[in-house]
A and B are shown apart, each in its own frame.
Chain A
Amino acid sequence: MRHAAESNARSSLASSLAVQWRVIRALLMREVITRYGRENLGVLWLIAEPALFTLGVSALWTAGGLNHGSSLPIVAFAVTGYSSVLMWRNTASRCNSALLQNFNLLYHRNVQVIDVFFTRIILELAGTTASFTLLSAFFISIGVVEPPIDMLEVVGGWLMLAWFGASLGMVLGAATAYSELVDRIWHPTSYLLFPLSGAAFMVDWLPQRAQDIVLLLPMVHGVEIVREGFFGDAVRTHHDAGYMALCCLGLTLVGLLLVRDAGRRVEPP
């Protein structure tokens, strides 16, 4: 279906991929300038925005003296927790508004619905990852946070959260083409999910019944993995990467199916 302006032959997979990459790159550049502009920090806002959030929450929690009944360093706890939330919440929210805001781009034959989602997912994941990395590096360098015990595990958990954010984003983004209700329901849901997502607690602090319930939420496993990597034996974590992967895989499949059909359903706003 895709084609380049210079060729009108039915395109092969390789040339389709080339077009797709070109389109996503162009969309990325456009989106960055559109969202962050050229004034003051510009593109750096991509990192600064989540960083400010995380900093604020860390400050609040520190000031509030919430030590959560444990000896965990509060800054490290806040950075890992809040960055994880941003990973799935922002990605999903950005995808949610993607079709409405970008419908007019679909007039260009080369731009497909999935490119619009990929662009937002890439930007959001990149921004959150960069801010998480920089914040951690900053706090570690001034000695507020200890370096992670198991770097590889932090990366692993983080990648799982990224996968969860991306697949959730696709599902919710494409679902908006079916019903406006999706957007309306997502906002309260995301607020309700925040306290349950494991950002502000460790699963181990909860009673057994509550543990079983929160562990149904895939992102809780991701946060626990990241924290195990960060704190090592200092904390007892509960996670099942297999269960989380299964959830993400399911969401990915549903997301891809919905995205394929969203292209047929989408109507001008």
Chain B
Amino acid sequence: MIVIDNVGKTYQTRQGRRTILDGVNLRLEKGRNIGILGRNGAGKSTLIRILSGAEHPTSGRIYRGMSVSWPLAFGGAFQPHLTGLDNLKFVCRIYGVDYREKVAFVEDFTELGVYFREPVSHYSMGMSTRLAFALSMAVEFDCFLIDETMAVGDSRFHERCHNELFVKRKDRAFILVSHDANEIRRHCQAACVLHHGKIHSFDTIDEAYAFYETATV
């Protein structure tokens, strides 16, 4: 289980302290999933960063009773000097996974060909995206954090991501944040809305959606 317990986050800005998250509560059981709807700037990415552990909350706490992924398909930790293979090795070492067992999968999924052994700085946008997603799948987690990643790439890539994540790993928990209600409707069992730093929970996705469409505009 993951519990977000009264989490607050403020940032120091030129105009004084700005509250991004204000007493957020959320709870996710193993194997369940939830979508978080929010407009641009609602604090979705901040919440994801806090969940992944990259940042700490200003107040409140997070209990992680299961392993939590880094934000899915997050490519920001790539080193441009490292090859795709180097980056795979690095991620595997960090999580204690034998990279040799993952090479075939990543090579196959990314379709990088010879570029798999070339520095990431030579990659196109699409190649980086494919590598980032494949690395996210190389380590098995109980809970995946998804930050609107499904929006990038072509439809074929879309479909393969969908297959890896929502078909092959449908027993896992995930938290999907997006501003796109349709996406959340398609993938999630429950939804809530992040608005003005607060989480609004609803019994059904439709209610969340209705609130999102009317109250947050």
**Which A residues are within 8 Å of any B CB, using their own CB?**
1, 3-8, 19, 22-23, 25-26, 29-30, 33-34, 37, 103-111, 263-268
Contacts and interface: CB of A to CB of B under 8 A. Distances in A.
What is the interface of chain B mostly: helix, strand, loop, or mixed? Answer: loop
Nearest to A28: B93
Contact of A103 (B54, B86, B142): B54
Interface in B14-57: 49, 52-56
* Most chain A beta-carbon contacts within 10 A, residue among B64, B65, B70, B91: B70
B166 interface: no
A197 B55 CA distance: 37
Contact of A5 (B11, B79, B97): B97
27 contacts: A3-B67, A5-B67, A5-B140, A5-B141, A6-B96, A8-B67, A19-B96, A22-B94, A26-B94, A30-B79, A33-B82, A34-B79, A37-B81, A104-B54, A104-B74, A104-B77, A107-B53, A107-B71, A107-B74, A107-B77, A108-B52, A109-B64, A110-B95, A263-B56, A266-B55, A268-B54, A268-B55
Given A23-B93, A26-B94, 9 more contacts: A3-B67, A4-B95, A5-B97, A8-B67, A22-B96, A104-B54, A107-B54, A109-B68, A110-B94
B82 A30 contact: yes
Interface of B: 11, 49, 52-56, 64-68, 70-71, 74, 76-77, 79, 81-82, 86, 89-91, 93-97, 139-142
A103 B67 CA distance: 21
Nearest to B78: A104
Nearest to A7: B67
A70 B82 CA distance: 50
A105 to B, nearest CB: 5
A204 to B, nearest CB: 47
Contact of B82 (A4, A8, A34, A103): A34
A111 B86 contact: no
A7 B77 CA distance: 23
B56 A29 contact: no
A260 to B, nearest CB: 11
Given A8-B142, A33-B82, A109-B53, A26 B90 contact: yes
A219 B91 CA distance: 38
Nearest to B56: A264
B119 to A, nearest CB: 9
Nearest to B79: A34
B55 A5 contact: no
A107 B49 CA distance: 7
B86 A30 contact: yes
Nearest to A109: B53
Contacts of B93: 22-23, 25-26, 29
Contacts of A263: 56
A33 B86 contact: yes
Contacts of A104: 54, 74, 76-77
Contacts of B67: 3-5, 7-8, 109
A25 B160 CA distance: 33
Nearest to B143: A8
Contact of B94 (A23, A34, A37, A268): A23
A106 B54 contact: yes
A103 B55 CA distance: 10
